[in-house]
Chain A
Amino acid sequence: MTATVLYDTPGPKARVRNAGTGVIGVLLVLGLVGFVLYRFAATGQFDGRLWEWIEYSAIQVLLLQSLLATLEAFAVAAVLSLVFGAVFAAGRLSDHRWLSRPAALVVEFFRAVPLLVLIFILYFGVSRGLGVNISTFWALVLGLVLYNGSVLAEIFRAGVNALPKGQREASYALGMRKTQVMTNVLLPQSLRAMLPTIVSQLVVVLKDTALGFLILYPELLYQARFLGSQGQLALPIIPVAMVVALIYIAMCLLLSAAAGYLERRTRRSRKRIDLDAAGAVAAAGLVIAPSSESGAAG
């Protein structure tokens, strides 16, 4: 294993002690998992009756439709938030104060307000309060776009600012215009460095589509709740929730794996720019955790 700052390479005594800790740890974890599984079994969650629903083709179609609804919201939100992010990052990077200040304000506002409150504002607020009808789909998508677009705008800005100053200076010295500097020199380099972070942010978008459940957008969780409360299927909420959880986790893991792959590829590249390099990202106040595994907590 690799060297670590915390302890020396274990000797014979430490190895025995570590093995002991390992055994105790395994017992604890297995005990916990075992207890939960025991409760599942004891309350009959693994009974065939509760899993019968999975064989009905109508229900399979229903689940598939809700999966499609989830993916649809994700796809539209992902594309639009990339556009939103690009526009507002450009606005914030502008030299004109009348452009950069409002852009900064918008980005900071939408990053600070909880996404669910945004969605509620769009759905309950605008439809009930202002009388403009917004479908659950668009309330969810617009909420996702405003929030994730703002986060992406910050990622873009931090990425461009993280480039060495010389790149910009050299291009200006060559007589390029502002737009040319950005599109021909800065963006191609920084996009490459930002790609893993962008994809990680897309994982957040995918995860947050689940919020649609709370405004009754017919996505996976909504369908799970619906199926789980069907008396003639013996109320299979736990089995359905397990299946839906598997679908969600599998989709997110796939996207995360893509982000990880991109990250490793950029790390290999000699042209890599260190997005984590002190200062640049920090000064931008980027709301992400270090490394590729960004602040998906948002």
Chain B
Amino acid sequence: MNVLFDNLGLYGQAFLGTIELFVVAAIGSLVGGLLLAAMRVSPVPILRAFGTLYVNTVRNTPLTLVFFFFAFAYPRLEIVDLSFFARGCIALIIYTSAFICEVVRSGINTVPVGQAEASRALGFTFTQTLAGIVLPQAVRSVVPPLTNIEIALLKNTTIAAGFSIFEAGGIYQTLSERGYNVFLGLLWVAAGFLILVIPLTLLQQRLEQRWSTAR
């Protein structure tokens, strides 16, 4: 218990770092994922090909490798000098976007074509079809898996700690410098993540239960 209470400030700051990283990366990857998904379902074949190429490559790349690139290789390219934090966010966004794109795309694909055909036959305009028929149905099948991806993102932020970004995964270093028991210290980190992840998991299960029966 002492490990936690003696270092409460450290834990607080570190988890704040985690949450900051998570929020920025979540918003960024949502935007990126939607853009990619728009490419992948667009009527322009070449854009679809780009989207597919990106998604297939990134999903088969270890996140550590993306971080590795931004931590060690990016500074060599002398483009813009970015902080560790910004580079960590970019790495997470690049990686997570691919997964979000896939969820959004397969969500749109679950809406039967007949739905759109029927609404067109009833004289709905494109906007009406999209906003009134397709999207409400797609959102139902997108949001639960999306929550899963956000959970994975939250857990993935720990990798940033390995590349000198201050956040919860890196607490052990300070603890061992201060002479505390690292094992207990890390167990508290795990507990902290449980506290963060469990509400998200429950939310996801609720959404899934409510929306899977609705169709």
Range class of the B interface residue count: 35 or more
Q: Give Cα distance in the complex from A116 to B144, angstroms.
A: 25
A–B Cβ pairs within 8 angstroms, 14 of them: A114-B157, A116-B169, A117-B169, A117-B189, A124-B172, A125-B183, A125-B185, A125-B186, A129-B182, A129-B184, A129-B185, A210-B65, A252-B62, A278-B213
Beyond A45-B76, A210-B62, whether A10 also contacts B43 by CB under 8 A is yes
Chain B residues within an 8 Å CB radius of A5: 108, 111-113, 115-116, 134
Binding site for A on B (CB under 8 A): 39, 41-47, 50, 56-57, 59-65, 68-69, 72-73, 76-79, 95-96, 99, 102-103, 106-108, 110-113, 115-116, 120, 126, 130, 134, 141, 144-145, 148-149, 151-153, 155-159, 161-162, 168-169, 172, 176, 181-187, 189-190, 193-194, 197-198, 201, 204-205, 208-209, 212-213, 215
* In contact, A25 and B44 (Cβ under 8 angstroms): yes
Chain A residues within an 8 Å CB radius of B186: 117, 120-121, 124-125, 129
CB distance from A158 to the nearest CB of B (A): 12
Give the contacting residue for A297; candidates B43, B130, B153, B197; CB below 8 A: B153
Chain B residues within an 8 Å CB radius of A237: 72-73, 76
Q: Please classify the interface of chain A as helix (H, G, I), strand (E, B), loop, or mixed, using the class held by over half of its residues.
A: helix
Q: Give Cα distance in the complex from A4 to B106, angstroms.
A: 12
Range class of the A interface residue count: 35 or more
CB distance from B169 to the nearest CB of A (A): 6
A192 within 8 A of B: no
* In contact, A25 and B39 (Cβ under 8 angstroms): yes
Beyond A6-B116, A121-B183, whether A25 also contacts B46 by CB under 8 A is yes
A128 within 8 A of B: yes
Q: Give Cα distance in the complex from A193 to B101, angstroms.
A: 25
A282 within 8 A of B: yes
Chain B residues within an 8 Å CB radius of A39: 77-79
Tell me the residues in window 97-154 of chain A with beta carbons closer than 8 Å to chain B beta carbons: 109, 112-118, 120-121, 124-126, 128-130
A95 within 8 A of B: no
* In contact, B99 and A6 (Cβ under 8 angstroms): no
CB distance from A279 to the nearest CB of B (A): 6
Chain A residues within an 8 Å CB radius of B79: 39
A173 within 8 A of B: no
CB distance from B25 to the nearest CB of A (A): 12
- Kindly name the residue among B43, B95, B141 whose own CB sees the greatest number of chain A CB atoms within 10 A: B43
- Kindly name the residue among A7, A115, A116 whose own CB sees the greatest number of chain B CB atoms within 10 A: A116
